[in-house]
């Protein structure tokens, strides 16, 4: 029997304990396929190397979620569940993250009460993990009983790294268009997502002169000096898109800070830039599988249909752009920049955040 089949057997045996408590949907076979997803798994074995229980932790955008913790009924009440839970927390900590989340039944004694005894508290599910709710809906778990999201901080939070992102704009046949990248699925952050060109500030970034408007625009943020932000934006666009910009081409637009909990966090300064006819925007980075011009409205529709993946900042910024008539309107908007310290930002134009 392979490990995947062994874990399937343990999970099925543990699920049998729910009989008469909640009506579980039929568990789909294929724990081996689930184990192939990004993350890690731990097993508890006896002296004969027989697997008695396991913990499976998924990783989404550098965040870690305890997807399953199961112990065979014959091995329960021996501390194996608590040991597996502690080992999973150690694994998350060793990978540089600070929070473990999980979803479980609220009223089953060996579910939510067990985790609460080990320091887990009620929490909101991070936006990056919302596909888990969709999976629970498909599997019928949401109909089986009340579910709750719990979380535990297991280490100090990672300090956000300063980064930049540039939204190139042009006036196309359907209206305002933006140049985007389709990230490779092999990337360890924002894999497979649609993003704008950009990246981290590098040590020793050489500052460039910037217009006075840049100093005022970033004044309410904790970002590095505007001269460094502009320098990084110019460098990243040149490296990823083959286009050389000047500081005067960049219009400060927004600032988003990755929420705490994951092993990677960024404080991202977003710029607009108006593309000129002489510029050839293209893909020259291995981080993206393709690039292209598209309308914000089309991208939002694709995301709603599940055809593309958008991170929270990208979705909000596209929503803002979708309400603008043309490039000139966007460049002239100059909304006030206040850091977004969570994933729940709302479009600023025509409303408040």
pLDDT score recorded for residue 217: 98
Query: Domains in the chain, please, with CATH?
Result: 3-153 (3.40.630.30), 161-333 (3.90.79.10)
SS3 content of the chain, % helix, strand, coil (to 5): 30, 25, 40
Read off the pLDDT of residues 17-46 as tens digits, 9 standing for 90 and up.
776 666 666 655 566 667 777 899 999 998
If you write DSSP's letter for every residue of 75-131 in order, what string do you get? G-SSSHHHHHHHHHHHHHHHTT--EEEEEEESS-TTSHHHHHHTT-EE-PPPGGGTH
Query: Are 162 and 200 a contacting pair, CB within 8 Å?
Result: yes
CA distance 208 to 200: 16
Partners of 64 in beta bridges: 59, 100
Kind and range of the H or E run holding 289: strand 288-294
Confidence of residue 173 (pLDDT cuts 50, 70, 90): confident
Alpha-carbon Rg for the chain in angstroms: 23
pLDDT at 6 over 60: yes
Read off the pLDDT of residues 78-106 as tens digits, 9 standing for 90 and up.
999 999 999 999 999 999 999 999 999 88
pTM comes to 0.88
Is the C-alpha dihedral spanning 218, 219, 220, 223 positive or negative? positive
Neighbouring C-beta atoms of residue 292, cutoff 10 Å: 14
Confidence of residue 264 (pLDDT cuts 50, 70, 90): very high
Kind and range of the H or E run holding 341: none
Read off the pLDDT of residues 240-258 as tens digits, 9 standing for 90 and up.
999 999 999 999 999 999 9
pLDDT at 350 over 70: no
pLDDT score recorded for residue 1: 41
Collapsed DSSP state (helix, strand, coil) of residue 298: helix
Buried b (16+ CB within 10 A) or exposed e, 133-146: eeebeeeebeebbe
Q: What are phi and psi of 120, to 5 degrees?
A: -85, 140
pLDDT at 313 over 50: yes
Read off the pLDDT of residues 179-207 as tens digits, 9 standing for 90 and up.
999 988 776 677 778 999 999 999 999 99
- What is the rounded average pLDDT for all residues in the chain? 89
């Amino acid at each position: 029997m392979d490990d995947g089949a062994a874990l399937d057997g343990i999970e099925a045996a543990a699920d049998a304990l729910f009989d008469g408590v909640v009506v579980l949907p039929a568990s789909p076979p294929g724990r081996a396929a689930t184990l192939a997803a990004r993350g890690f798994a731990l097993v508890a074995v006896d002296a004969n190397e027989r697997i008695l229980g396991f913990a499976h932790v998924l990783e989404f955008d550098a965040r870690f979620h305890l997807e399953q913790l199961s112990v065979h009924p014959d091995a329960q009440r021996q501390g194996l569940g608590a040991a597996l839970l502690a080992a999973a927390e150690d694994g998350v900590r060793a990978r540089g993250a600070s929070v473990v989340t999980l979803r479980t039944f609220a009223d089953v004694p060996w579910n939510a009460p067990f985790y609460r005894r080990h320091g887990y508290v009620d929490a909101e599910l991070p936006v990056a993990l919302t596909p888990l709710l969709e999976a629970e809906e498909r599997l019928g778990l949401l109909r089986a009983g009340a579910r709750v999201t719990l979380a535990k901080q297991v280490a100090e939070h990672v300090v956000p790294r300063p980064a930049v992102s540039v939204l190139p704009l042009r006036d196309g046949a359907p209206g305002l268009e933006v140049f985007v990248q389709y990230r490779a699925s092999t990337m360890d952050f924002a894999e497979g997502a649609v993003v704008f060109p950009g990246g981290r500030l590098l040590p020793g970034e050489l500052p460039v002169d910037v217009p006075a408007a840049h100093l005022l625009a970033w004044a309410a943020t904790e970002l590095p000096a505007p001269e460094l932000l502009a320098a990084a934006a110019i460098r990243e666009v040149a490296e990823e898109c083959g286009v050389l910009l000047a500081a005067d081409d960049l219009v400060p637009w927004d600032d988003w800070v990755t929420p705490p909990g994951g092993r990677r966090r960024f404080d991202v300064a977003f710029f607009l830039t108006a593309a000129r006819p002489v510029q050839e925007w293209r893909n020259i980075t291995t981080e993206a599988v393709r690039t292209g011009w598209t309308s914000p409205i089309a991208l939002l529709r694709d995301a709603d249909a599940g055809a593309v993946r958008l991170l929270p900042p990208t979705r909000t910024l596209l929503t803002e752009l979708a309400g603008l008539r043309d490039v000139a309107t966007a460049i002239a908007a100059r909304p006030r920049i206040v850091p977004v310290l969570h994933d729940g930002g709302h479009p600023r134009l025509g409303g408040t955040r």
